[in-house]
Chains A and B, each alone.
Chain A
Amino acid sequence: MDRLIYSSLAAMRGLMAKQATTASNLANVSTTGFRGDMASATATWLRGPGMDGRAAPSEGVIDADMRVGAVAATGRALDVAMEGDAMLGVQAENGEEGYTRRGDLMVSETGLLTTGDGLPVLGGSGPITLPPADKIEIDAGGVIWIQPKGGNANDPLQQVDQLKLVNASGTRIAKSMDGLFRPVAGGTLPSDPDARVNAGALEGSNVNASAALVDMIGASRDWEMQVKMLTTAQDLDKSSADLMRLD
Chain B
Amino acid sequence: MTTAALQVARTGLDAQNERMRVIANNLANVNTTGFKKDRAQFETLAYQNIVSAGAASAGDQKFATGHALGTGVQIGATAKIDSQGSLNTTGNSLDMAISGAGFFQVTQPDGRTAYTRDGNFNLSAEGQIVTSDGMPLSPAIQVPQGATSITIGADGTVTAQLAGQTEVSELGKIETATFVNVAGLQSLGNNLMQETPASGAPQVGAAGTEGRGTIQQGSLEASNVNIVEELVDMIETQRAYEVNSKMISSTNDMLQYANQNLG
Contacts from A to B (Cβ < 8 Å):
12-13, 15-17, 19-32, 34, 37, 58-63, 75-76, 104, 106-111, 116-118, 132-134, 149-151, 174-179, 184, 209, 212-213, 216-217, 219-220, 223-224, 227-228, 230-231, 234
B50 to chain A, nearest CB (A): 7
Bound CA–CA A26/B5 (angstroms): 11
A9 shortest CB reach to chain B, Å? 11
Distance between A89 CB and nearest chain B CB, rounded to angstroms: 18
Once the chains bind, are A34 and B79 in contact (CB under 8 Å)?
no
Interface centre among A27, A134, A223 (most CB of B within 10 A): A27
Contacts of A60 in B (CB 8 A): 50-51, 65-67
Rounded to whole Å, the gap between the CB of B178 and the closest CB of chain A is: 8
Indicate if the CB atoms of B44 and A31 lie closer than 8 Å. Answer: yes
CB distance from B181 to the nearest CB of A (A): 5
Interfacial residues, chain B to chain A (CB-CB below 8 A): 1-2, 4-6, 8-9, 11-12, 15-16, 19, 41-44, 46-47, 49-51, 53, 65-73, 76-77, 79, 81, 83, 101, 180-181, 183-184, 197-200, 203, 209-211, 236-237, 239-240, 243-244, 246-247, 250-251, 253-254, 257-258, 261-262
Interface of B is mostly: mixed
Query: What are 25 inter-chain pairs, A to B, with CB distance below 8 A?
Result: A13-B1, A16-B1, A16-B2, A16-B254, A17-B69, A20-B70, A23-B5, A29-B243, A30-B73, A30-B240, A60-B65, A62-B65, A106-B79, A106-B183, A107-B181, A109-B199, A116-B76, A116-B77, A134-B211, A151-B211, A177-B47, A177-B68, A179-B44, A216-B250, A219-B254
Contact B73 A27 (CB under 8 A): yes
Q: Are A27 and B8 in contact (CB under 8 A)?
A: yes
Q: A26, B258: Cβ atoms under 8 Å?
A: no
Chain B residue nearest to A107 in the complex (CB): B181
Report the separation of the CA atoms of residues A107 and B198 in the bound assembly, to the nearest whole angstrom.
10
Determine how close the nearest CB of chain B comes to the CB of A238; give it in whole angstroms.
Answer: 13
Bound-complex Cα distance A108 to B196 (A): 12
Number of cross-chain contacts by CB at 8 Å: 192
Judging by beta carbons under 8 Å apart, are B44 and A107 in contact? no
Instruction: Indicate if the CB atoms of A24 and B236 lie closer than 8 Å.
Output: no
- Most A C-beta atoms less than 10 A away, residue of B41, B50, B197, B236: B41
Nearest-CB residue, chain A, relative to B201: A109
Contacts A20-B8, A28-B42, A31-B44: A213 and B243 contacting too (C-beta < 8 A)?
yes
Beta-carbon nearest neighbor of B2 in chain A: A16
Nearest CB in chain B: distance from A10 CB, A: 13
Q: Is A108 a contact of B243 with CB atoms below 8 Å?
A: no
From A26, A37, A179, A224, contact of B9 by CB (8 A): A26
Q: Which residues of A contact B70 (CB under 8 A)?
A: 20-21, 24-25, 27-28, 37, 179
Q: How far is the CA of A24 from the CA of B43 in the complex (A)?
A: 12
- Of the candidates B15, B181, B200, B257, the one whose C-beta lies within 8 Å of that of A224 is B257
Q: From the candidates A24, A32, A59, A217, name the one contacting B8 in the complex (CB within 8 A).
A: A24
A132 to B199, CA, bound (A): 12
Residues of B contacting A118 in the complex (Cβ-Cβ under 8 angstroms): 76-77
